[in-house]
Amino acid sequence: MICDSFLFIENENENQITNNELNKFSFKKYLNRPLNVCYIGAGYVGGTSSSVMAYKCPIDEVIVTVCDVDIKKINSWNSDNLPIYEPGLEEIVKDRRGKNLFFTVDIEKAIYLADIIFISVGTPTKKIGIGAGQAADLSFIEKAVRKIASISRNSKVIVEKSTVPCRTAEHIRAILNANQIKNNNNNTKNSSIHFEILSNPEFLAEGTAVNDILNPDRILIGGLQTKEGIEAQELLSKLYSYWVPEEKIIKMGLWSAELSKLTANALLAQRISSINSLSALCEEVGSDIQEISHACGLDSRIGPKFLNASVGFGGSCFKKDVLNLVYLSNYYNLPEVAEYWNQVITMNEYRKSRFVKNIFNKLFNTISDKTITIFGFSFKKNTKDTRESPAITVVLSLLREGAFIKIYDPKVSEKQIKYDIMENCDIQNYNDYISRMKVCSSCYEAADCSNAIVICTEWDEFTFIDYKRIYNNMIKPAFIFDGRLILNHKDLKEIGFFVEAIGKNFNKIF
């Protein structure tokens, strides 16, 4: 394995790989074979990151194998119907699958052959036990690490790709050291096996993930500042250098890299909650949140990104990572810090509930037996991911009030929508809710004979449809509630719609 012969080779004159040596290094030339990279976990992060890595690395230099216990997921990766949707991903997978990109359920073989192992399993928020509702559930991490320890016969570099709490690498190291393969002769630990642990958090955003990996803002590689740790960082740096400029590959301490991912997501979520809090004030005083966002975004100290007010943020990361930060702050007896970050989540929930309350108020304080159309169910455009989607909260709130709901999303399946409703409601209410809900195949079908349209996802498609045609087939008065600020409100009002939008109050303009 590469770690035995390359990473930890003893040299009296030099114990590190210099940058010049690194740039000239060829995995195949040194090993007489390609470098074997293994991703444990074929989910969103593992599947996307591994595919792009295989795509950008020379076929004869690097082989990437993605393994998972979920045979359905692996079969999907090996088919024409990938388990996730990302613009450009399908083309990349088809280009490299079967060449230097492989998806398998043979976890033992993938681990055994690997030189570098990326752990990219889920770390959801705990639902029960100590820290429930805030702390990260690391059980999948531990299972993966124990499997690595039981299978490995040679030294390996283990890379945290999953989002984990700070100092998780300590626990990984303890498990590996306590469970590694022993010598057959004397039943002692095999000292020739060494595991070096790195933190390499992902910063991809759903909907733009492929481009985010192809053209990253930065690649963080955290490791211990020991000889072995520094060499492992250099090895991973070499792997990324096939397509990432050297100046964007940042080497840092292990704990800093782990905390950087939580911090980045917390700051982004904070920014969204900040502008959403101001959107509520705009609705009361008659200001326009888009004008304010534009004005503030022109300030070079602030910038324009993540200043788009909306019904709220969703996805698998923001809420989970902020809550994890809250838990860590409380764990280390920093209650003021915990409360500060908890307000980011509180504001996000407030923005969703305020949006629903406005729908209720504008529809004459009753929505029972009224038909409301939902445009978009994914948490953002260009993905079919519905985790923590604001649409779930909106739909359930309207169903509780007795409304009939018609949903259209260009990528999310009816099966997924019904699953999300089931997972987020009392089981005794599920059948009633489903009986009053219809998933449609087009926006026109969804809006037909509807009292109101609610924009929950900013799909580009919703900006180009014929709203005059839609208006003519709706019950009057016809309402549109723009929860993503993507529509031309002036044109809609001229058609005849009653328009409501996040961060705007059209009745207080003058």
CA-based max dimension of the chain: 88
CA distance 246 to 237: 8
The Cβ-side half-sphere exposure at 113, using a 13 Å CA radius, reads: 19
Residue 317 among the catalytic residues = yes
> Are 278 and 292 spatial neighbours (Cβ–Cβ below 8 Å)?
yes
- Token pair listed for 319: 């809420």
What lies within 8 Å, CB to CB, of 307 at 6+ separation is 271, 275, 293, 296, 297
> Are 407 and 376 spatial neighbours (Cβ–Cβ below 8 Å)?
no
Beta bridge partners of residue 197, listed in sequence order: 158
Q: Which residue reads 């096996």 in tokens?
A: 193
First to last CA, the chain: 73
Q: One-letter amino acid identity for 214?
A: L
- How far lies 503's CA from each of 17, 343, 390, 490, 506, in Å? 55, 19, 17, 15, 10
CA distance 165 to 361: 42
Q: In which element (H, E) is residue 66 found?
A: strand 62-67
Specify the DSSP class assigned to residue 118: E
> Are 497 and 471 spatial neighbours (Cβ–Cβ below 8 Å)?
yes
For residue 475, the Cα-to-chain-centroid distance in whole angstroms is 38
Closest CA to 258 of 227, 226, 224: 224
- Count the Cβ atoms, other than its own, within 10 Å of residue 91: 11
CA distance 282 to 284: 5
Beta bridge partners of residue 371, listed in sequence order: 404
CA distance 63 to 34: 6
CA distance 191 to 353: 58
Q: Do strands 219-223 and 116-119 pair parallel, antiparallel, or not at all (unpaired)?
A: unpaired
For the chain, how big is the Rg over CA atoms in Å? Answer: 25
Which residue among the candidates 3, 38, 57, 317 is catalytic per the annotation?
A: 317
CA distance 262 to 273: 16
Task: Supply the angle between the helices 254-285 and 289-297 in degrees, to the nearest 10.
Answer: 140
- Count the Cβ atoms, other than its own, within 10 Å of residue 469: 11
CA distance 304 to 294: 7
Q: Which positions are annotated as active-site residues?
A: 317
